[in-house]
A and B are shown apart, each in its own frame.
Chain A
Amino acid sequence: MDFAWSPEEETYRKEIRAFLDAELPPDWTTRRRRPDSDEQVARSKDFCGRLAERGWLTPHWPKEHGGRDAPAWQHMILGEELWSIGEPRGPQYMNVNWIGPSIMAAGTDDQKRYHLGRISRGDVIWCQGFSEPDAGSDLASLKTRAQRDGDEYLINGQKIWTSYANAAEFCYLLARTDPDAPKHKGISIFLVPMTTPGLEVRDVHAVVGEHAFHELFFTDMRVPASTRLGPENEGWGIIRSVLSHERVGVPRYGRAMFQLGLIASWASERGLLADPGVAERLGQAQAACEAARALVYKVVDERAKDVPPSPNAYVARAAMVQAEWAVGEAGMVVMGPDGLELDTVADDQFRFGMTAGVAAGTYEVQLNLIAGLALDLPRS
């Protein structure tokens, strides 16, 4: 057991920080930072392009796909540094964390050629067409139907809660190709251009942020069979490994700590850090973030050692959700009614934090998985 960074890891972190200091605008830390804001999505292409030039957009990818085979800890450090300043990659963290890797794992040569270059250059936005009105936590019950028709699929159905669909060029779409098979066995993945006729995007006006969510409607949408990723009806297996990356691929505690620092600055400017109640709230939220960080590191340690994915990923996710909530609560309590004003840090964190326990698998699903897989409790 050893918690020291290697000299290489420390150097890597320093280089990233120097790059970020040089590349981000001087007012970066004080402006609105939500990953789903229009501004951030637009900015992310420019920023990711520069990250890509430096070799830091997809360093953990294999060399043959434009990466550097970077170790798991370097990938972790990169994600932590970026999330800790408000995630300037915007939605593109999804591309590099799991959309790209799933195309590497299951894609045809043409798909790899077409998509991986775009993703690794940093100039493409994806959205994930997963949830449906009747398929949330029970994702495998999704009903969007893809019917084979010669060299094409005819797709009808609806997705919802899709982030970034307003800006996306591609959708990573799950659809049912065999309605008669057991629910996990009839799902396929499609890599769908958002300009495909028959696809309509509507904004879901949400209280958690502008363009946070959308609905996607598919009406007799035709896509070539070549857009299918992996074998027909075997999408769920691919998705399962993808979701295990999604769970800890995003060091949200880094962003929560960043937000907490802004709340502390607000308090400090008003002399409130001397208030024991304020200091206590801030300290408890910071401790929750630190616990999440330590538990995420445990998962990265497993990944670095190439051991099979363990339920520790769900433990880490649950701790991250708790940390997000703690920071949201600290913001509101410390800032008081000032935190109710639009786009203050407390407002930003509280509303963004509301999604933490729902997006990418609910908190309760994580608790179910911990109970079953880590604690080996009998099935309910």
Chain B
Amino acid sequence: MDYDLDADQEALRGAVATVLARHAGPARAKALSSSEAIDDDLAGALADAGYLDLLGDPDAGPLAAELVVEWVAAAAGIVPVAARALVGPAVLDGQLPPTMTVMVEGDRGPVRFAQAEAVLVVGENDARLMRLAPGALEPVATMYGYPMARVSLAGAEVLDSGPAEQARRWWRVGLAAEIAGTMRAAFDLTLAYHKQREQFGRPIGSFQALQHRMSQVYVRCEGAAWLAREAAFHRAGGERAAAAAAYAAAAAGTVCAELHQMTGAIGFTREYDLHVWTLRLQTLRLELSGAGGHARALATARWVTPRPSSSGAGAAR
């Protein structure tokens, strides 16, 4: 057991930070937000450096891949990094496209990053990687930080497939990692604001009414991050993946509301960076049936005895 980054992870952090400093960050996120597209420069830079293929790399592994997802989320990158770096390589054996996203089969709602090269469509038993037919996307106007579209699977081509349960578990780990990175960045901005913003002649961070709330947000940020890292390290076991996502998604709702309330009116402006992360938290916390869905999955994995007929990789509870 070791809660500190090892030398390789430390080196990875520095290297990824260099890429993110050049191709990500809140200013870039705001500049690109109207284009309703994935940030191909960032996706390309991460792919070229090999940072999207760490999960299967024996020198890196799933925890390193999870950390990259957290860091990219904290830098507000507009790339489907969790789907491509965690879900894809964990579920599919074949060559992965440069960008991919994940959706639930039959979902008629907006799909985050539907503009990716391929979509992993997660059904009851199978998760199928599909290339959508031309005209399959109906873009959705949104302020919530990611390009989104409604998706039609008519005429889509199946490229590959894998077990759906595995896909759901890694999707949950990915969501937990994205939420953890996003919440932490929003928290850090708000913490700095609390030390610098003065009212009634003192920094607002000196008011105990706000201190207690900041402390509670910090506990949630920490809890979400460590559960996500653990779940990735343990290769998305059903309980761990669901626990990480359930905790993170519930935290995301609270943290978004709390940080905005504690920032006040400046937080409502496009100019101020807070919304770059907080509005994304709304998207992230609702995906894959949200905190309630993750919590139900956790209860099922922990307390509902698997039926003998449902054993096997794809149907493990």
Contact = CB atoms under 8 A, between A and B. Distances in A.
Interface of A: 1-6, 9, 73, 261, 264-265, 267-268, 273, 276, 278-284, 286-288, 290-292, 294-295, 297-298, 300-302, 304, 315, 318-319, 322, 364, 366-368, 370-372, 374-380
A257 to B, nearest CB: 10
B211 A371 contact: yes
B247 A290 contact: yes
B295 interface: yes
A273 B299 contact: yes
Contacts of B291: 284
A286 B243 contact: yes
Nearest to A2: B2
Contacts of B218: 315, 370, 374-375
18 contacts: A1-B4, A4-B1, A6-B1, A276-B296, A279-B295, A283-B294, A287-B244, A290-B240, A291-B224, A297-B1, A301-B3, A315-B219, A319-B219, A371-B211, A375-B211, A376-B195, A379-B206, A380-B206
B202 interface: yes
Interface in B208-234: 208, 211-212, 214-216, 218-219, 222-224, 226-227, 229-230, 233-234
Interface residues of B, number: 53
A268 B250 CA distance: 24
Contacts of A292: 223
Given A2-B6, A322-B219, A367-B215, A291 B206 contact: no
Interface of B: 1-6, 9, 63, 67, 191, 194-195, 202-203, 205-208, 211-212, 214-216, 218-219, 222-224, 226-227, 229-230, 233-234, 240, 242-244, 246-247, 250, 291-292, 294-300, 302-304
Nearest to B187: A375
Nearest to A312: B222
B258 to A, nearest CB: 13
A377 B6 contact: no
Given A264-B299, A264-B302, 14 more contacts: A2-B63, A4-B1, A283-B242, A283-B297, A283-B302, A287-B295, A291-B227, A297-B226, A304-B1, A315-B218, A315-B222, A367-B215, A371-B205, A380-B208
Nearest to A261: B303
A318 B223 CA distance: 11
A378 B226 contact: no
B92 to A, nearest CB: 25
B223 A3 contact: no
Nearest to A294: B226
A318 B216 CA distance: 8
A304 B202 CA distance: 40
Given A286-B299, A290-B227, A291-B247, A5 B206 contact: no
A287 B2 CA distance: 21
Contacts of B4: 1, 301
Nearest to B302: A286
Nearest to B303: A264
Contacts of B208: 368, 371, 380
A4 B233 contact: yes
A73 B299 CA distance: 28
Question: Interface on chain B toward A: helix, strand, loop, or mixed SS?
Answer: helix
Contact of A378 (B2, B195, B296): B195
A279 B296 contact: yes
B7 to A, nearest CB: 11
B5 A1 contact: yes
B195 A1 contact: no
A283 to B, nearest CB: 3
Nearest to A372: B211
A282 B303 contact: yes
Contacts of A281: 295
A374 B205 CA distance: 13
A73 B247 contact: no
Nearest to A284: B295
A2 B243 contact: no
A377 B205 contact: yes
Given A295-B222, A298-B3, A380-B211, A279 B299 contact: yes
B247 A288 contact: yes
A379 B104 CA distance: 49
B300 A284 contact: no
A284 B1 contact: no
Given A273-B303, A371-B212, A378 B219 contact: no
B273 to A, nearest CB: 19
Contact of B207 (A282, A284, A302, A380): A380
Nearest to A3: B233
A283 B211 contact: no
A1 B225 CA distance: 13
Given A279-B296, A367-B215, A287 B243 contact: yes
Contact of A3 (B211, B222, B229, B296): B229
A294 B244 CA distance: 11
Nearest to B5: A1
Contact of B3 (A1, A267, A315): A1
A256 to B, nearest CB: 14
Contacts of A273: 299-300, 303-304
